[in-house]
Structure 1
């Protein structure tokens, strides 16, 4: 039988091959069917997941390609390192404010001036706004280039201005600039456009002076916008005026604080969240709850809070609060404390930190000639500091005090001119502060300094034995500030210079200079012994400072 099969294979070889192929095909089909039956569903699911992964990866790469190469990236605005704006035959007013007017993420500068030249186009706007020439003109210039963003006449003569006052959080309203004319007229401006939001020709009375600043108080008339509180001094009495923050309409009638105020007011919030008005009254503090003021001027109950502890302390007939003697009160400041904001009282005999709730002294520092508000900052990352300028002329001394204990952290004699530019500070990335002081170094006395230049000095706590002299300014400095134009990037010095008095108009200049550029050309001053770094190494360390937004 086997022989027959072999013989047949020899006679018909192709038929035999076909039979073998058919058998192999049947065997392969059986194997695939067996494999398919033996393959679990999870393996097929894994293959689907692999396909989905590569498909998602392809889509992501496609989106990245479109964003990177097809859709153009927005151009970052180029900020000039220095610019200058000049006005001839003008008078500058002591006011500077910062706001991102053109929404380019760089802060812009708002300022006030009077242009005396009647041929200037700006003065023709005085008549169009109902003012005589010269009038007060508000202007906004680009922080990046110094180009004019808007400019318009806003008042005849400005007595007070409070700018970049935010509305209630979440309301969506824009910041507001509030101006008070010497006649008592109120005007609210939109700092983004210069447009008038509202204007009220309010006249508190004759022989009345306004006690600044204008305060923003909780909404008492129910329109969803914080209201404005203005104090006026009328002979022996302090008058209280409340205005709607949304319309400028007066709320109720004129009220009274019941005492003779001698300084600017402070809005204080107690530990229970109650708002109280504090006003210097010679060597005492006058206090009154905002709730009681609303009820007095409107004649109806109010939903605002009072603090039982403070109510027992404040006598409604003569609202003087008992204090340990610090002499005549010159300034009141809110400063950060452990549980909220404490009160720093600057008197003619001492500077005293008062507890937020009890108004009891936490510490006192003997100072007799503090003629301007102290400057807040940080000497160490975990503790606040306050810079106090004590004295004038060749006797002027700069003190940095620990805000929590009143301990002296650093001091330096630095002669200065009366009425010179104020000090300021900028928070650095190491959570310390760079402090900036104006003065007359090298032992210049007050008589010799009449024609001398103002000098701007920079101090940082990491180099306590060094002062940098950043720049000299021969012109009269009307207003000054150190500004962080871009977050963590662009710190610059803003100077508004002009004539000494309003009676003699002259050249008014607004100048911006980058702090880093000022440091490169600065002069290093050694304070006593200590520090072995070269002058260039010191400049390099200051140049590497980075700045943060914050107090």
Structure 2
């Protein structure tokens, strides 16, 4: 037997005692080892304290921000508001800008009031005008309150808003107004305060042509300048004014053409600025003048602006006439934005023609002999531009949506319309299409005193929604996105049809969603299983987006 086993049998108690001592020794060694290692319980307690301390800090910050530091008040946007002026007249001008910086678009418009302004803060005499005079007013898009209003001209005005100011001028953006008789005034877009005021040199017999053109900074003072075209007898003259001071730059210069409408400021692919306008005895040719050439002609000095060599080759050196002849009188010239630069849409008395923006090569022609309104653009297919053509008047009026890349008809609808109807409009939707808005009378007795507004969306090509019926004379109309991702609205400016007969002038905003929910469903084709209410609900959930 092994000696250890013999010992255990002879002395059993002694052996058991040894085992106990050995076990006790091992336990003491383990306790010593635990004491020498970092205590887990202490580390766990520290982690718990840190977690609750962080949680308490976060809750405290949330409490301070939510209850102690007041959040800026944002006015609730009303679905509908209206501003009225009695014994007044108004003009065809509407613009939207966030004037009071509440992230809601506000509305600017013009009116002429025999009783001066509504708030009497400034009178016509304060600005050197006799009463009545024309006022420019800024109205809150959220609730219709007057933000500011001020006298702007003796009678009427052409307005260009959103003109940048020099960095050191104290104002970031301006509205420039040219009134009749000739005067120029620039006001701070956000406060209405006068930035500068200058007399003009148009002469009393001059007719100022619309629109005003914002051109690059010609006098190097840090602000874009203003190019004004005015007609004397039958000749068109050009005037350049400093955007920062209003002083005239150089002297007037004749463009050597006749005409009263249809001109356009165009930027070529080489970055050169040209003024295009119909010319010739029948206005069936296209004339062009570089802004660089106009500046050098009126000042006698060189300009840093560019000329486009390919365009200069196309221009006749004698009369600045482009080698382009239309089959009819040119009524409208429209810039067409594209991926490779701007193209040119030319609308004549016989057709619509899309021209390549650089070479003026023909892309397509669409026969439309009675286009009496300037075309607008929108998206019938996702991210694909379409052009809206209103062809004809009276019961023969047709609304046509053409694919801008091919000239093919995407959608057409007879919609009787009569002189005095407002321009159509479009607004991009979140599905990368557009909602279109047309005026007319669908299957109703034509009445000159009634204007009906219809909405169309390409996802329901057989449906029109009749949104509103207005009996007043509509002077201006606009559809705008007032809050990104929130709501779009229609703006109606109504007033007397004659500028010589004062009456009620009304500016009103209506939320499109509210108009849709109360609209009348017009079915253009038979079939379809959706109820009228289901169609209203579907179109009321459209989301709108700003232009890209």
TM-score by length of 2: 0.88
Q: Does structure 2 conserve the Cα–Cα contact (< 8 Å) formed by 1:342 and 1:353? A: yes
Question: Secondary structure of 1:488's partner?
Answer: coil
Question: Secondary structure of 1:495's partner?
Answer: strand
Question: Secondary structure of 2:515's partner?
Answer: helix
Aligned counterpart for 1:83 among listed residues 81, 84, 108:
81
Aligned counterpart for 1:148 among listed residues 127, 146, 149:
146
Find the aligned partners of 1:174 and 1:349 in 2 and give their Cα distance.
44
Q: Does structure 2 conserve the Cα–Cα contact (< 8 Å) formed by 1:213 and 1:264? A: no
Q: 1:529 Cα deviation (Å)? A: 2.6
Cα deviations by residue, 1:261-287 (Å, 9 ceiling, x for unpaired): 342421111111111111122111111
Q: 1:325 Cα deviation (Å)? A: 2.1
Find the aligned partners of 1:121 and 1:34 in 2 and give their Cα distance.
85
Q: Does structure 2 conserve the Cα–Cα contact (< 8 Å) formed by 1:111 and 1:140? A: yes
Q: 1:64 Cα deviation (Å)? A: 3.9
Aligned to 1:491: 488
Cα deviations by residue, 1:99-130 (Å, 9 ceiling, x for unpaired): 11211111111111111247977497011211
* Match status 1:199 vs 2:201: no
Relative to 1, partners in 2 of residues 1:49 and 1:179: Cα closer, same or farther, differing over 3 Å? farther
Q: 1:206 Cα deviation (Å)? A: 4.4
Q: Does structure 1 conserve the Cα–Cα contact (< 8 Å) formed by 2:353 and 2:366? A: yes
Aligned counterpart for 1:102 among listed residues 96, 100, 106:
100
Aligned counterpart for 2:114 among listed residues 104, 113, 116:
116
Find the aligned partners of 1:354 and 1:417 in 2 and give their Cα distance.
30
Aligned to 2:386: 385
Question: Secondary structure of 1:538's partner?
Answer: helix
Aligned counterpart for 2:33 among listed residues 31, 34, 40:
31
Aligned to 1:16: none
Relative to 1, partners in 2 of residues 1:121 and 1:485: Cα closer, same or farther, differing over 3 Å? closer
Aligned to 2:349: 348
Q: Does structure 2 conserve the Cα–Cα contact (< 8 Å) formed by 1:122 and 1:152? A: no
Find the aligned partners of 1:393 and 1:548 in 2 and give their Cα distance.
34
Find the aligned partners of 2:52 and 2:117 in 1 and give their Cα distance.
71
Q: Does structure 2 conserve the Cα–Cα contact (< 8 Å) formed by 1:465 and 1:530? A: no
Question: Secondary structure of 1:541's partner?
Answer: helix
Find the aligned partners of 2:154 and 2:518 in 1 and give their Cα distance.
42
Q: Which runs of 5+ in 2 are unaligned?
A: 1-12, 14-21
Q: Does structure 2 conserve the Cα–Cα contact (< 8 Å) formed by 1:438 and 1:454? A: yes
Cα deviations by residue, 1:358-415 (Å, 9 ceiling, x for unpaired): 1112111111121111111110112001111111111111111111111111111111
Q: Does structure 2 conserve the Cα–Cα contact (< 8 Å) formed by 1:115 and 1:134? A: yes
Aligned to 2:543: 546
Relative to 1, partners in 2 of residues 1:262 and 1:138: Cα closer, same or farther, differing over 3 Å? closer
Aligned counterpart for 2:126 among listed residues 125, 128, 142:
128
Find the aligned partners of 1:100 and 1:130 in 2 and give their Cα distance.
29
Cα deviations by residue, 1:401-430 (Å, 9 ceiling, x for unpaired): 111111111111111120211111111110
Note the 1:85-484 alignment, pairs <5 A: 85-117=83-115, 122=120, 125-166=123-164, 173-281=171-279, 282-445=283-446, 449-450=447-448, 452-484=449-481
Find the aligned partners of 1:495 and 1:542 in 2 and give their Cα distance.
21
Find the aligned partners of 1:525 and 1:288 in 2 and give their Cα distance.
48
Question: Secondary structure of 1:463's partner?
Answer: coil
Find the aligned partners of 1:28 and 1:168 in 2 and give their Cα distance.
81
Q: Does structure 2 conserve the Cα–Cα contact (< 8 Å) formed by 1:123 and 1:135? A: no
Q: Does structure 2 conserve the Cα–Cα contact (< 8 Å) formed by 1:158 and 1:179? A: no
Question: Secondary structure of 1:238's partner?
Answer: strand
Find the aligned partners of 1:373 and 1:509 in 2 and give their Cα distance.
25
Alignment coverage as a number of residue pairs: 525
Question: Secondary structure of 2:298's partner?
Answer: helix
Q: 1:238 Cα deviation (Å)? A: 2.0
Relative to 1, partners in 2 of residues 1:57 and 1:171: Cα closer, same or farther, differing over 3 Å? farther
Aligned to 2:8: none
Find the aligned partners of 1:48 and 1:364 in 2 and give their Cα distance.
82
Q: Which runs of 5+ in 1 are unaligned?
A: 1-5, 7-19
Question: Secondary structure of 1:438's partner?
Answer: strand
Aligned to 1:537: 534
